[in-house]
Amino acid sequence: MLNVSRAVVPVLGLGQVVAFASSYYLLGVLADPMARDLGLDPAAPFAALSAAFLLSAVLTPWAGRLIERRGGRTVLAASNVAYAAALLLIGSALNSWVLLTGIAALGFGMAIGLYGTAFSVLVELKGAAARRSITAVSLIGALGGGVGWPLSRMAAEAWDWRAACLMWALAHLAICLPLGLTVLPKRPRADRCATEAPAAPVIWDRRMLQMAGIFAGAWFVSTAMGAHLPRLLVDLGMSLDRAAWAAGLMAASAIGARLFDLLVLHRSHPVATARLGTLLHPAGALIASVGGPRLAAAIAVGQGAGNGLLSVASGVLPLHVFGPDRYAVRQAMILTPARYLQAAAPAAYALALDASAGFALAASSAVCLVMFALTFGLRPVSAP
């Protein structure tokens, strides 16, 4: 088995930081100036981002097959080019249609350049022993929002939003692309030859359906909280300033949970990690509901920590249950429903919040409890 270079994990992690900062978190500080300059409704850029999520969902199964045929290193390089092309289109947009097309085109990069591809590189290199490396990449990648928003804001304030987009395009082409091609090892020739013959299709089974349900629920709740957490906290009685501060605890808790898994839980059963992750959001919601405004921040902590553990589980649970064989294809299939639900989450959760904050918390907690139930019966292929 190949020894993974010490630089592989940092390079993959850096790539995830740049990928998330230049896609998921790009509009957090740039949407308003984009809309203002081009005479758009402020919601229009976010509608285009939803289109990017949908495009990513459509392309995800194809991306898994592409990784299996070409290897994660090659697909990550292609994602850098795809991200850069979309960002250059956004940054050079002279009218609203070009801008919205560029934002939607980020979906190509999302489909082939996020965690699934990075995890596949590690599984190609380390096989079933990739858990700690997957956790480490997930930990570094969690900095995407914390790093992306300030850097985008600094570039926009120093120049404008176009310069911020060009900055991220340059990061993909001048930093991530050459680092990936230089540091990430090529897939072993034996593995390349093994994928030249047409492979039998991966068939859905009960365990894959269970995992698809777990991660679809996780991504739905995570995206809903990312879009609406400050409003939810205000509806629970917090002031707007305190709500903005408390919402920041979600990102910090996600990083802390990943670090806890890396240092403490890495020898535990991956199902236990997933199971714990599903319960932290309902626990935070219960504390927030009982404690009122004084303890409302518990929902941010619970959601962040739970999402951090479930992000790790999305990489290690398919590996634990099915092993490294056909990992890229199987994981892409499992995560495809999550990508579709992610696109619908902000609008759906807005309707729940319009009813009441309590109803919204009960709904997201119910989703998590269903996810908890789905963690039972996930035994490895070799288990009796």
Give the list of residues 6+ apart from residue 347 with CB closer than 8 angstroms, or none: none
Whole-angstrom distance, CA of residue 221 vs CA of residue 307:
9
Q: Give the rounded percent of residues in the chain with a pLDDT score beyond 90.
A: 33
Mean pLDDT to the nearest integer, 198-216: 87
pLDDT in tens, 300-310: 899 999 998 99
Q: How confident is the model at residue 11 (pLDDT cuts 50, 70, 90)?
A: very high
| pTM score of the predicted model | 0.81
- With tokens 């480490």, the residue in question is 136
Residues of the chain above pLDDT 70, percent:
93
Cα–Cα distance measured from residue 210 to residue 207, given in angstroms and rounded to the nearest whole number: 5
pLDDT of residue 319: 87
Domains of the chain: 8-194 (1.20.1250.20), 206-374 (1.20.1250.20)
237: left (phi over 0), alpha (psi -120 to 50) or beta: left
What's 198-263 look like in SS3? CCCCCCCCHHHHHHHHHHHHHHHHHHHHHHHHHHHHHHCCCCHHHHHHHHHHHHHHHHHHHHHHHH
Stretch 214-220: mean pLDDT: 94
The pLDDT assigned to 298 comes to: 92
Q: Residue 134: what pLDDT?
A: 86
Residues 262-300: pLDDT tens digits?
888 767 778 888 999 999 999 999 999 898 888 888 998
Q: Hey, is 264 helix, strand or coil? A: coil
Lowest mean pLDDT among 121-125, 150-154, 226-230, 313-317: 226-230
Q: What is the DSSP letter of 129?
A: G
Residue reference for tokens 């979906």: 107
- 3 state SS for 149-164: HHHHHHHHHHCCHHHH
